[in-house]
A = this chain, B = another copy of it.
Amino acid sequence: MIPHEQFRMTPSRRAILDGISGAACHPTADEVYEMVRRALPRVSLGTVYRNLELLTRHGLIRTLADGRGQRHYDAVLEDHCHVRCEACGRVDDVRVTSPGQLVDAVEDGGGYDIHGYRLSFTGLCPDCASERERSAPGRQLEGGDDESQGNED
């Protein structure tokens, strides 16, 4: 969060901001690109990335480097928690009880100067869960390959 440095709220930045705010779940850079292009067909992906970074630096959005692959972007600035679908990678919000006490729960930080926390859950989003149920009802299908544990954090 860089306090002293001015920048213009240009059409592309407005569109990026609106796109992220209006999205159903937290979009990736190229999903933002798609959304912005519907309003401004000539924007480039480079500009989208440049502005996602700038908006993050100025505290107007948050960048979630949550999982594997792409980052996700979030227009909600308050501290909150996320779920990431293990199957499709989609990221949504979760509400948890008393998340503010999480930092206090640290018993041994090994000398780290702790600034914040990040709590995210993994699981299956409604769509992927029902799709999985359709293709393997009750798990009666051919063995193995469960992977539900998710060793990739």
Instruction: Give residues in A with beta carbon < 8 Å to B.
Output: 1-5, 56-57, 59, 61-68, 71, 83, 85-86, 92-99, 102-103, 105-126, 129, 143-153
Contact = CB atoms under 8 A, between A and B. Distances in A.
Given A56-B152, A105-B97, A106-B95, A118 B115 contact: no
24 contacts: A1-B147, A1-B149, A2-B147, A3-B143, A3-B144, A3-B146, A4-B143, A56-B152, A65-B68, A65-B152, A65-B153, A66-B153, A94-B110, A94-B112, A95-B106, A96-B102, A110-B126, A112-B121, A113-B129, A115-B149, A116-B149, A116-B150, A117-B119, A117-B122
A105 B116 contact: no
Chain B CB count within 10 A is highest, among A1, A85, A121, A125, for A121
A121 B106 contact: yes
Please give me the 3 A-B residue pairs with the lowest Cβ-Cβ distance, nearest first.
A114-B123, A111-B126, A96-B105
Contact of A126 (B64, B112, B145): B112
A124 B112 contact: yes
B110 A115 contact: no
